[in-house]
């Protein structure tokens, strides 16, 4: 069983289902409204835990009802939340998600407590980070917190996985220096490298640029086409499972969390782990919501 520690965001999601996306200045009716657990970090942690990993979390919530709710949801997944701080006079992060009948989504995030912790709080969880097989982070929390977490992990021989989402044109060289694997989707890969990723050839071109930034393992997810990996001179597109998507929210997070639960720290089973992640995300997109849609290990078995 892999030990996975996620440094990341925790959000309470407010979801709206609509026939089509609203236009500027327009008012439309929603078909459904519901709340659920979310945040890229929390989604990835839930995906790892449900796929069988021993999972821990480092992050923050506000001193409010949504914070209590989110901590309860993570505890229900048997995720170690000792590293989650409760910040006084701060709101728990929230996301407002609209999903149309084609399964596409539009998301607006209020970070709140997700940006109220930093390197100091991460350093206090040094033992937790060092006792991991993988440490995962995204860009929904302060970069200095991620750098500190990855520095601690790298010094202990723990592998680091950076999910560069939301996409940023320039990633800290200090962070890349301690990143073992980077996992952008096609849009994020284009934001970072300038290469429009649409197929295996363009994914390989983007991967080469990401390698030039100093990252050994590159995985670029390309929606319904699958995931392209490039490592140690080998590059290949691992096809996605063909399904009817109703909501793509948390698909990428599910892929990363599930993959990390079975990936060997020496990356010797990288392709098989990607296939496992693809299967998990194919189940997620057939359901509504972020965390409610994430599958369990027994469902993912290939």
| 274 labeled part of a ligand binding site | no
Other Cβ atoms closer than 10 A to 266: 8
Contact (Cβ atoms closer than 8 angstroms) between residue 138 and residue 165: yes
| 39 labeled part of a ligand binding site | yes
| 58 labeled part of a ligand binding site | no
* Ramachandran class of 275: left when φ > 0, alpha when ψ lies in -120 to 50, beta otherwise: alpha
**Residue of 76, 133, 253, 266 with catalytic role:** 253
Structural tokens at position 20 = 């089509």
| 105 labeled part of a ligand binding site | no
| 78 labeled part of a ligand binding site | no
Q: Is the peptide bond before 166 cis (omega within 30 degrees of 0)?
A: yes
Q: Is 37 in a helix, a strand, or coil? A: strand
| 40 labeled part of a ligand binding site | yes
Q: Is 253 designated active site? A: yes
| 278 labeled part of a ligand binding site | yes
| 62 labeled part of a ligand binding site | no
Q: Which burial class, exposed, middle or buried, applies to 130 when counting CB atoms under 10 A from its CB (0-12, 13-18, 19+)?
A: middle
Contact (Cβ atoms closer than 8 angstroms) between residue 9 and residue 42: yes
| 249 labeled part of a ligand binding site | yes
Could you tell me which residues are annotated as the binding site? 11-13, 39-43, 140, 185, 221-226, 247, 249, 252-253, 278, 284, 287, 289, 293
Binding residues for K(+): 247, 249, 284, 287, 289, 293
> Catalytic residue positions?
253
Q: Which residues are annotated as a binding site for substrate?
A: 11-13, 39-43, 140, 253
């Amino acid at each position: 069983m892999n030990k996975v520690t996620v440094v990341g965001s925790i959000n309470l999601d407010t979801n709206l289902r609509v026939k089509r996306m609203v236009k500027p200045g327009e008012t439309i009716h929603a078909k459904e409204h519901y709340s659920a657990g979310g945040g890229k970090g929390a989604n990835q942690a839930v995906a790892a835990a449900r796929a069988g990993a021993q999972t821990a979390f480092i992050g923050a919530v506000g001193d409010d009802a949504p914070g209590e709710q989110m901590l309860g949801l993570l505890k229900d997944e048997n995720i170690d939340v000792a590293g989650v701080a409760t910040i006084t006079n701060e709101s728990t992060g929230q996301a407002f998600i609209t999903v149309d009948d084609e399964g596409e989504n539009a998301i607006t995030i209020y970070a709140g407590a997700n940006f109220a912790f930093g390197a100091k709080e991460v350093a206090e969880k040094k033992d937790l980070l060092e006792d991991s097989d993988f440490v995962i982070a995204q860009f929904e929390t302060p970069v200095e917190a991620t750098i500190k977490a990855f520095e601690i992990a790298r010094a202990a021989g723990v592998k680091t996985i950076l999910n560069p989402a939301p996409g940023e044109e320039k990633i800290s060289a200090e962070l890349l220096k301690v990143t073992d694997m980077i996992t952008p989707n096609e849009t994020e890969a284009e934001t970072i490298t300038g290469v429009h990723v649409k197929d295996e050839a363009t994914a390989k071109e983007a991967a080469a640029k990401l390698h030039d930034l100093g990252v050994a393992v590159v995985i670029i997810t390309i929606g319904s086409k699958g995931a392209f990996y490039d490592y140690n001179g080998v590059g290949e597109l691992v096809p996605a499972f063909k399904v009817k998507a109703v909501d793509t929210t948390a698909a990428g997070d599910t892929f990363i969390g599930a993959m990390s639960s079975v990936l060997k720290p020496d990356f010797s089973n990288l392709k098989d782990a990607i296939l496992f992640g693809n299967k998990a995300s194919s189940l997620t997109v057939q359901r509504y919501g972020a965390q409610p849609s994430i599958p369990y290990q027994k469902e993912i078995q290939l």
